[in-house]
Amino acid sequence: MDTIFALTSAPGRAGVSVIRISGPGAFPALSRFGLSAPEPRAAALRLLRDGEDVVDQALILAFPGPASFTGEDVVELHLHGSPAIVTSVLRMLSEVEGGRMAEAGEFTRRALENGKMDLAQVEGLADLIDSETEAQRRQAQRVFSGKLGEVVQGWRHDLIRAAALLEAVIDFADEDVPVDVRPEVHELLDGVAASLETQARGAAVAERVRQGFEVAILGAPNAGKSTLLNALAGREAAITSAVAGTTRDVIEVRMDLNGLPVTLLDTAGLRETEDEVESIGIARAKARAEEADLRIYLLEPGEDPRIDLREDDIVLQGKADLTGDPEGISGATGQGIDRLVTRLTDVFSQRSALVATATRERHRVAILRALDDLAQARVLLRDPAYSEDLIAEELRSAIRALDSLVGIVDVETLLGEIFSSFCIGK
């Protein structure tokens, strides 16, 4: 296996830059700098030399495998964060026999292949690196710590126990089995199915935490939608004008709403129009409003909402600075903004409380496959006419679906897509 190396900290000038080396030649590679490996997991301050020339003074850490991130011998060079120093050190490492630059996500892929983490933890690590809000960080950390793997192991244990009971009946088909195993099998399957259903519901919410909740601001033209968006975003993100129909497309602004990721959508005003461009904008507004997690509708005096309201949708009197409505909202003066933010936070906090351990659409699909197999097994189990081997096969299919969550079975088709989202140094 090649020895790989890469810059693992952000590129560019910094206080410190870190280069990681992993593989069988990690420790010998230090000889290129005129050094030997320091004591395991002990930091050593050493001069890196290129012949007689001093390249840098670096802090060197050595992690013998398997007690390392990748499970292989690993060396980390903590350099002064000069692009020139980093370039020189990478050039020297490229001259080491058997060494090469790491590909995107290759350190983490080796950690997976060497059993240092499961596939769900890999995804959790990717989400942790990409997290922008506190809710995203907490969710990613939970997956990265191996919680999903622990849950899957519990499901597998119960399903394997159920399958073993059924197979015991098969093995002793010609003898009298003193105990009817079906009631215990039914109890095990009911427990797993209930837990899977909870996780499937929570996965849909978790996906929104990963991607961000969408809030569409709707209303008639010139109802104050763009002004409200700017007030919530704290900047001039959308053009505001007294001329109706200024907004022709959907304007998106991402923000951190008390630790929750939210994307605000400013949309074209809803009205009948013969303007072709405005009509396209209104159609897009309606389409995005249907997909949004929550809608804010700004009313004009005497108007009824032009959409079918859903639970949690918020209807407010817009331009309260002009109408004098104490319960209304005004992006121009800030009236009602705090109440709106609190209400949005409460709604999304309640939804986030439903988040379970599964966090991705891939997880949800695998769980639903397992639920389908368990549903079929439970139907067969209730009918004495069906043999235990048919039920056991359904359980084995459910176990395979769950195994795909953590990479116990072949998931090669998933790996390229997952690791392509990683940076080179991870």
Establish whether 245 is an annotated binding residue: yes
Establish whether 12 is an annotated binding residue: no
Q: 227 is written with which tokens?
A: 């002004």
Question: What count of other Cβ atoms lies within 10 Å of the Cβ of residue 337?
Answer: 15
Please give the span between the terminal C-alpha atoms of the chain, in angstroms, as a whole number: 18
Q: What is the DSSP letter of 354?
A: T
Beta strands in 51-192 (DSSP E): 53-63, 74-80, 99-101
Establish whether 237 is an annotated binding residue: no
Amino acid occupying residue 387: S
Contact criterion met (CB below 8 Å) for 219 and 269: yes
Establish whether 76 is an annotated binding residue: yes
Establish whether 242 is an annotated binding residue: yes
Establish whether 271 is an annotated binding residue: no
Q: What is the DSSP letter of 41?
A: T
- Separation between Cα atoms, residue 400 and residue 423, nearest integer Å: 30
Contacts of 303 (CB under 8 A, 6+ apart): 220
Establish whether 321 is an annotated binding residue: no
Contact criterion met (CB below 8 Å) for 111 and 117: yes
Establish whether 349 is an annotated binding residue: no
Establish whether 220 is an annotated binding residue: no
Angle, helices 182-211/147-171, rounded to nearest 10 degrees: 160
- Separation between Cα atoms, residue 218 and residue 225, nearest integer Å: 7
Establish whether 241 is an annotated binding residue: yes
Amino acid occupying residue 166: L
Establish whether 62 is an annotated binding residue: no
Contact criterion met (CB below 8 Å) for 76 and 29: no
Establish whether 247 is an annotated binding residue: yes
Establish whether 345 is an annotated binding residue: no
Contact criterion met (CB below 8 Å) for 388 and 245: no
- Separation between Cα atoms, residue 214 and residue 210, nearest integer Å: 12
- Separation between Cα atoms, residue 419 and residue 402, nearest integer Å: 21
Mapping DSSP to helix (H, G, I), strand (E, B) and coil, where does residue 155 land? helix
Establish whether 268 is an annotated binding residue: yes
Contact criterion met (CB below 8 Å) for 21 and 110: no
Establish whether 273 is an annotated binding residue: no
> Can you say which residues are annotated as belonging to the binding site for (6S)-5-formyl-5,6,7,8-tetrahydrofolate?
20, 76, 116, 426
> Can you say which residues are annotated as belonging to the binding site?
20, 76, 116, 222-227, 241-247, 266-269, 426
> Can you say which residues are annotated as belonging to the binding site for K(+)?
222, 241, 243, 246
> Can you say which residues are annotated as belonging to the binding site for GTP?
222-227, 241-247, 266-269
> Can you say which residues are annotated as belonging to the binding site for Mg(2+)?
226, 247
